[in-house]
Amino acid sequence: MCRRLGIKLCTSVKCPIVKRPYPPGQKGKRRTRALSEYGKELREKQKLRTWYNLQEKQFKKYAKDILSLKQRKEDAATLFIRKLENRLDNVVFRLGFASSRRQARQLISHGHIKVNGKIIDIASFEARKGDIVEVDQKSKSKNIFKDVLIVLKKHQPPSWLKLDAEAFKGEVMGQASLEEAAPPAEISLIFEFYSK
């Protein structure tokens, strides 16, 4: 018994918890505030960071590197996206060897991917023009790659990559463009976030 309220509390029988679709308090009085500039910048940064499946430290390093090169004539946003797109985990994903960047990262760390004939187990390895990215010969017999072959035949990689689906091999033909990568965030807000 609750002495303060004077009601009997049920201790022996479990009371069902009712989850209501609205927050506690007076109904309909929920405040929605407009996002601050910092909030907008943070949201854009988080969108792109999770899209590329990167830790904050890695993402920040890429952004700071591009900010330090801002005096160059090339567009900073394009340079930033190229740097992110040229990561080995992204190249493996774009070639269609993996269904997500997270899976691509796992394939690389488990030693299933070769670059120019050498097994590379570092997901942040930067692929360059002319690099041959392929699945290791021993790994091709694994179940995961048997399923991928069906998908690869229909897969259309971006124009800067060339895919040979039968051989599980791809080549980096050029550099990614901002339009083709189509990032889900506004890059200028990300630079503003890190320039403070």
Block residue for tokens 């097994």: 119
* Distinct helix (H) and strand (E) counts, the chain: 8, 5
**Residue 136 pLDDT grade (very low, low, confident, very high; cuts 50, 70, 90):** very high
Q: Encode pLDDT of 86-101 as tens digits.
A: 999 999 999 999 999 9
The SS3 assignment for 112 reads: coil
Alpha carbon distance 151, 107 (integer Å) = 17
Mean of the pLDDT values across residues 131-141?
A: 93
Contact in structure between 183 and 51 (CB atoms under 8 Å):
yes
Contact in structure between 131 and 171 (CB atoms under 8 Å):
yes
**Domain locations along the chain:** 37-181
pTM (2 decimals)?
A: 0.80
Q: Encode pLDDT of 20-78 as tens digits.
A: 666 677 765 566 678 899 999 999 999 999 999 999 999 999 999 998 886 666 788 99
CATH superfamily label, 37-181: RNA-binding S4 domain (3.10.290.10)
